[in-house]
Chains A and B, each alone.
Chain A
Amino acid sequence: MAPVSGASGPIDLAELVAAAREGDRGAFDEIVRRTYVDTYTLAVRLTASEEDAQDVVQEAYLRAWKGIRRFRGEAQFSTWMYRITSNAAATQHGKRRRHRTVGLDEVADPVETEVALHPEMATENHELLARLAAALDELPPRLRSLVVLKDIYGLSHEAIAEELGISVTAAKVRLHRGRKRMRDLLYEEAERHADAV
């Protein structure tokens, strides 16, 4: 995939966003190319389903294209995109009333980036990250979205509450419950095993 280049080198994301806000569809397509893996990763974390995540990604970029003129650049584009994606995932979850479980083989193997640069760190963290990802998938969607958006993507309680259509207090309560459930999923089995020995 060839990067878009201007006279002074590759065009940065801010310039592409500015062009897209003026209606430049080519600029928006380039934004999609540069960011869709990140958006897809968030969508999988939120939905615990590759199939749903693909729908969420398409819906999120469609909403972004329709609303790009309203993006004022006060936040980073990535943060704005996370908010749209979480909103699209919430809509998708509403469509899927029935809770569905996902086989482990349905979720793609992660492509590690920063971790892969440090093999010793990768070895040390590999097991923890795999357990964390599995525990996240076990969470009920309403708790999972809070843990993903706050603890992985660093969104504020206020932003999360707005996108999910809940109060800030409700967001805090769900995060508290989500973390507690994650802790139980991660450590209780190990504690039971230790007690039994």
Chain B
Amino acid sequence: MPTQCEEIAALLPQVVDSDEPIDLPVRRHVESCLRCQAELARYRRMLRGLQLLRTQYLEPAPGLLAATLATITAAGERRAVTSVLTRRRLAYAGAVAGAVAAAGTTTVALVVARARRRTLPI
């Protein structure tokens, strides 16, 4: 294959469906070179064939639909359980924090009251 044909053959996978205009020297060469025209035709045929593959559907295994729906359900249930556990944890944490705060307040009140009793004149 002549050097110029090799160079152009290397460009063809990119330019075969490019929206951008092809360089004039490249276009002129392809128009006058049967070898490059044949190469371009191969790429075009290949792309047409690939587009046709879009119209073919492969038959999935019979259980795929049920398995897919079950996966989504299971994930939803896991999320719901996690959500409940998270809410419970927050409730426990709130209760503990409340108890600690109440105990702290009571302790402070007792200490203040005791201190006042000590400072009262006899």
A residues contacting B by CB (< 8 A) are: 25, 28-29, 32-33, 36-38, 40-41, 44-45, 50, 54, 57-58, 61-62, 65-66, 107-115, 125, 128-129, 132-133, 136, 147, 151-154, 172, 175-177, 179-180, 182-183, 186-187
Contact = CB atoms under 8 A, between A and B. Distances in A.
A172 B58 contact: no
A127 B10 CA distance: 26
Contacts of A147: 50
Nearest to B64: A54
B32 interface: no
A57 B68 contact: yes
Contacts of A50: 61
B98 interface: no
Interface residues of B, number: 31
Given A57-B64, A179-B43, A32 B49 contact: no
Contacts of A152: 50-51, 53-54
Interface of B: 10, 13-14, 16, 42-43, 45-47, 49-61, 64-65, 67-69, 71-72, 75-76
11 contacts: A37-B59, A50-B61, A57-B60, A58-B71, A61-B72, A109-B59, A111-B56, A112-B55, A112-B56, A113-B57, A176-B13
B64 to A, nearest CB: 6
A114 B69 contact: no
Contacts of A153: 54
Nearest to A115: B55
Contacts of B57: 37-38, 41, 110-111, 113
Given A41-B57, A61-B68, A183-B42, 5 more contacts: A45-B53, A54-B60, A61-B72, A113-B56, A129-B49
